[in-house]
């Protein structure tokens, strides 16, 4: 029998920040951590929905320590404001929030929105919270990628210098999540840090991701609940990556079966996601676009 949520160790005294935790995968990840005793911050753009999500977690787990923080990953000033509210130990940072195949849009700083929310906003968040993570022994940074990274052609176009392709923009942002995880782990290891970077994907899960766009393909995603697995099951690969003591830095987890993946297993990302030179280029571009340089001392 494989790994199940029952294998999550006692997390009492641990503290986690989960982005996009007001619904779907983020909500289930936050609940899974809180149910084992972690204090969890739901970092969300819609704080009304996040408060409702916090109430739902408390209803499911009596005594759950859950709070809400406002975070808009599409605005780097919001990222800075949220990070300024955080202090003390930080054991787990879960980069879960994302958008998929949306109509063409830009962040507050003029970056393509899918790249900006799915990757750059999280890069900036980690840059600002890295001192807390490094000061917390055994901390982990988990980034939610997608099996869609396998369909990425080339690298992201954050300035939209080419014709906008909603699906390639999404696939490339998910490839960026894995390249970033690899480069972050390389730098953490080089610094001798006990913090590690990991990644996961949920398989085909029933969430509202991708339904915001106006294309025909976006509209068909509303029928996904007829075929996919629950968000609770889709959250399991990330929960394992975050909590399993046997997980090593840089590893990538997904469901054993895409549509019915009750058991999360280690996966191998594409060759493009393992390109060390591409990962270094992404890191440099992220510094340029965010104006932030993560410090590992």
Report if pTM > 0.85: yes
Beta bridge partners of 264: 255
Q: What mean pLDDT do residues 57-68 have?
A: 96
> Residue 154's pLDDT band (boundaries 50, 70, 90)?
confident
Q: What is the pLDDT of residue 1?
A: 65
Burial 190-216 (b: 16+ CB within 10 A, else e): eeebebbbbbbbbbbbbbebbeebeee
Residues 6+ apart with CB under 8 A from 6: none
Write down the mean pLDDT value for the chain: 92
Q: What is the CATH number of the domain that holds 256?
A: 3.40.50.720
Evaluate whether residue 247 is within a structural domain: yes
Q: What is the pLDDT of residue 256?
A: 76
Question: Is 170 among the catalytic positions?
Answer: yes
Report the distance separating Cα 10 and Cα 14, nearest Å: 9
Evaluate whether residue 25 is within a structural domain: yes
- Mind spelling out the 3-state secondary structure of 104-120? CCECCCCCEHHHHHHHH
Share of the chain above pLDDT 90, in %: 86
Cβ atoms of 141 and 182 within 8 Å: the answer is no
Beta strands at 196-200 and 15-19: parallel, antiparallel or unpaired: unpaired
Q: What is the pLDDT of residue 259?
A: 62
Report the distance separating Cα 250 and Cα 200, nearest Å: 10
> Residue 223's pLDDT band (boundaries 50, 70, 90)?
very low
Residue 5: DSSP 8-state: G
Q: What is the pLDDT of residue 218?
A: 47
User: Per residue in 89-111, pLDDT tens?
Assistant: 999 999 999 999 999 999 999 99
Block residue for tokens 């392709």: 165
Question: Of the candidates 29, 44, 42, which has an alpha carbon nearest to the alpha carbon of residue 142?
Answer: 29
pLDDT at 224 over 80: no
Residue span of the structural domain in which 25 resides: 9-289
Report the distance separating Cα 233 and Cα 236, nearest Å: 5
Beta bridge partners of 93: 17, 141
Locate 63 and state its tokens. 């005594």
Question: Of the candidates 20, 16, 33, 115, which has an alpha carbon nearest to the alpha carbon of residue 71?
Answer: 20
Evaluate whether residue 295 is within a structural domain: no
User: Per residue in 7-40, pLDDT tens?
Assistant: 999 999 999 999 999 999 999 999 999 999 999 9
Q: What mean pLDDT do residues 2-11 have?
A: 96
pLDDT at 260 over 70: no
Residues 6+ apart with CB under 8 A from 242: 16, 29, 33, 92, 94, 140, 142, 198
User: Per residue in 167-185, pLDDT tens?
Assistant: 999 999 999 999 999 999 9
Beta strands in the chain (DSSP E): 15-19, 39-44, 66-70, 92-95, 140-144, 196-200, 252-255, 264-267
pLDDT at 228 over 80: no
Cβ atoms of 236 and 262 within 8 Å: the answer is yes
Please indicate whether residue 256 or residue 121 has the higher confidence score (pLDDT).
Answer: 121
Q: What mean pLDDT do residues 60-67 have?
A: 95
Evaluate whether residue 2 is within a structural domain: no
Active-site pick, 115, 164, 170, 253? 170
**12-21, 36-45, 212-221, range with the lowest pLDDT:** 212-221
Evaluate whether residue 149 is within a structural domain: yes
Block residue for tokens 């739901």: 42
Residues 6+ apart with CB under 8 A from 54: 42, 66, 67, 68
Cβ atoms of 9 and 243 within 8 Å: the answer is yes
Q: What mean pLDDT do residues 143-158 have?
A: 94
Q: What mean pLDDT do residues 32-61 have?
A: 98
Please indicate whether residue 199 or residue 260 has the higher confidence score (pLDDT).
Answer: 199
pLDDT at 207 over 70: no
Beta strands at 264-267 and 252-255: parallel, antiparallel or unpaired: antiparallel
pLDDT at 79 over 50: yes
Evaluate whether residue 239 is within a structural domain: yes
Report the distance separating Cα 114 and Cα 106, nearest Å: 8
* Count of domains for the chain: 1
């Amino acid at each position: 029998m494989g790994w199940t949520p029952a294998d999550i160790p006692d997390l009492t005294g641990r503290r986690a920040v989960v982005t996009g935790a007001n619904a779907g995968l983020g909500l289930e990840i936050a609940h899974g951590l809180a149910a084992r005793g972690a204090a969890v911050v739901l970092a969300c753009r819609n704080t009304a929905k996040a408060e409702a999500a916090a109430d739902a977690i408390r209803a499911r787990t009596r005594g759950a320590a859950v709070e809400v923080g406002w975070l808009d990953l599409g605005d780097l000033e919001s990222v800075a404001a949220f990070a300024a509210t955080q202090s003390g130990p930080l054991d787990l940072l879960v980069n879960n929030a994302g958008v998929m195949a949306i109509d063409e849009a830009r962040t507050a700083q003029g970056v393509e929105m899918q790249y900006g929310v799915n990757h750059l906003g999280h890069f900036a968040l980690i840059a600002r919270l890295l001192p807390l993570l490094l000061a917390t022994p055994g901390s982990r940074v988990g980034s939610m990628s997608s099996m869609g990274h396998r369909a990425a052609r080339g690298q992201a176009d954050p300035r939209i210098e080419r014709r906008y392709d909603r699906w390639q923009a999404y696939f490339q942002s998910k490839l960026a999540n894995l390249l970033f995880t690899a480069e972050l782990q390389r730098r953490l290891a080089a610094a001798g840090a006990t913090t590690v970077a990991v990644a996961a994907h949920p398989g085909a899960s029933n969430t509202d991701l991708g339904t915001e766009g106006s294309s025909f393909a976006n509209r068909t995603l509303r029928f996904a609940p007829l075929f996919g697995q629950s968000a609770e099951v889709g959250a399991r690969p990330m929960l394992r990556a975050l909590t399993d003591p046997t997980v090593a830095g840089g590893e990538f987890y997904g469901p054993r079966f895409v549509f019915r993946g009750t058991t999360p297993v280690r996966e191998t990302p594409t060759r493009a996601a393992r390109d060390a030179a591409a990962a270094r280029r992404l890191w440099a571009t992220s510094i340029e676009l965010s104006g932030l340089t993560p410090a590992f001392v």
